[in-house]
A and B are shown apart, each in its own frame.
Chain A
Amino acid sequence: MLTKRIIPCLDVKDGRVVKGINFLNLRDAGDPAESAAAYDAQGADEVVFLDITASADSRDTQLSWVRDVASTLFIPFTVGGGIRTTDDFKAILREGADKIAVNSAALMNPDLISEAAMKFGSQCVVVAMDAKRIEGTDRWTVYKNGGRVDMNMDAVEWAIKAEKLGAGEILLTSMDADGTKAGYDLELTKAIASSVNIPVIASGGAGKLEDFYTAVEAGASAVLAASLFHYKELTIREVKEYMKERGISVRL
């Protein structure tokens, strides 16, 4: 049976993992390849790297750490952040990444999704969306530039459009839930997951074991968390065992 995936997310800046991950007892806590390998050993089903490097001339650094990760990590990994063209896709995929997440660039140029899907296959095109509820309604709009600019575009409509253009997965972050540890935005997860036929990865808000379970119940195919795992408040194994006890299929 296909399992629900548990995905740790690592922020990378200038080729180094940021956010504390000392708990992993790594020789070098900031090394993307070692951090990823440690998560693999813990049972992560895949790993997402978000490159938050601000400088524009950082592509070489990015390619270098992607190459290192690919040499040591034998589970799928996604790279996102600052990817704007199919040439960017090509360069990163060639170093061994499996999937590319696009957010603002896809909003500004939706054809990027279809071009990338045509060239590299839908399986490697992840459309990441940051969605925020329109207060007092059951609607959400999507934001670009790391949640700074409201596109005034309906999140459900954008998800449907992304699927039509050839996205293979949707990485759905709730801006309202993100950082609150109050649980994923279940209504948003449900609204998006029930509108598309591609897998939806729920992101933003995980704080306790139950949150992962309820996100899956709301329709998520995978659940992503960052700080919860970084600071070892929960381990991937604990999450999987909890889900298994509740009848959710996981890889243990």
Chain B
Amino acid sequence: MIAVVDYDAGNVKSVEKAIEKLGAKHILTSDPEEIRKADAVILPGVGNFGDCVNKLSERGLDSVLKEYAASGKPFLGICVGLQLLFDESEESPGVKGLGILPGKIKRFPSSDELKVPQIGWNDIIESKGRLLDGIDKGTYFYFVHSYYLECEDPSIVTSKTEYGVTYDSSVESGNVFATQFHPEKSSDAGLKVLSNFLKIAGEV
């Protein structure tokens, strides 16, 4: 059973639909006990970093998710769900992220040439790791974000993407996985990524 973390952070439905499409079972929950018991956890999300941190801590989920990630069971963060795994974000100065992985979230440089947020399909200029198994570099994924990851540990970065800067667009550390892009909105390539995660989790 996959637990999709429900913390009122938007676009959860599309993640659920994609899991259903791939034939796995899930529950949408904010109950710490159900999350602890789950075979794998997905932390989706769209929204403001600080708001999301607050929503998680209001529900007592911050410590639960840290525990879960440390347990070695498969964990996938998507979009803001990736950003939350790191230490801090320029979007919400002074707010601490979950700090499960080392790095910070920075704002795209503003210029006339660069529309912010980045909205649309961009490619990954490298591709490695188990989550991206079978995905070639140059594959396009759907992105929507104004802030990007600068990871402090290059060894856990599994893809990079260019938008004004070259940034880290997915990471993998043990059984903790995260993507800045939305696999659930990235057509066949995205479904392949989710299917890889479900396989790692033993759910399909």
Chain A residues with CB under 8 Å of chain B are 1-5, 40, 45, 70-71, 74-76, 93-96, 98, 120-124, 168-169, 197-199, 221-222, 251
B interface residues, Cβ below 8 angstroms from A: 10-11, 13-14, 17-18, 20-21, 46-48, 110, 112, 115-123, 140, 142-144, 162-163, 184-188, 190-191
Cross-interface CB contact of A5 among B13, B21, B121, cutoff 8 Å? B121
| Cβ contact within 8 Å between B117 and A168 | yes
A2 to B48: give the CA distance in the assembly, Å.
Answer: 22
The dominant DSSP class at the A interface is loop
Pairwise interchain contact A169-B13, C-beta atoms closer than 8 A: no
Q: Identify whether the interface residues of B are mostly helix, strand, loop, or mixed.
A: mixed
Assembled-state Cα–Cα distance A98/B142 (Å): 12
Residue of A nearest to B125 (CB): A1
Cα A9 to Cα B36 in complex, Å, equals 43
Which of B115, B163, B188 has the largest number of chain A CB atoms within 10 A? B115
Identify which of B13, B143, B163 contacts A70 (C-beta below 8 A). Answer: B13
Considering the complex, give the chain B residue whose CB is closest to the CB of A70: B17
* Cross-interface CB contact of A199 among B13, B119, B188, cutoff 8 Å: B119
Q: A71-B20, A74-B184, A75-B142 are in contact. Are A1 and B48 (CB under 8 A)?
A: no
Knowing A74-B187, A76-B185, A123-B46, the reply to whether A98 touches B117 (Cβ < 8 A) is: no
Among B18, B115, B121, B188, contact of A3 (Cβ-Cβ < 8 Å): B121
Find chain A residues with CB under 8 A from B186 CB: 74-75
Contact B17 A96, beta carbon cutoff 8 Å: yes
Please determine whether A74 and B119 come into contact, CB atoms closer than 8 angstroms.
Answer: no
Q: Which residues of B contact A40 (CB under 8 A)?
A: 187
Q: Known interface pairs A2-B163, A3-B140. Does A198 touch B13 (Cβ–Cβ under 8 Å)?
A: no
Q: Once the chains bind, are B122 and A2 in contact (CB under 8 Å)?
A: yes
The 8 Å CB contact of A123, one of B13, B112, B117, B122, is: B117
- Give the docked Cα–Cα distance between A251 and B187 (Å): 12
Contact indicator A2/B120 (Cβ below 8 Å): yes
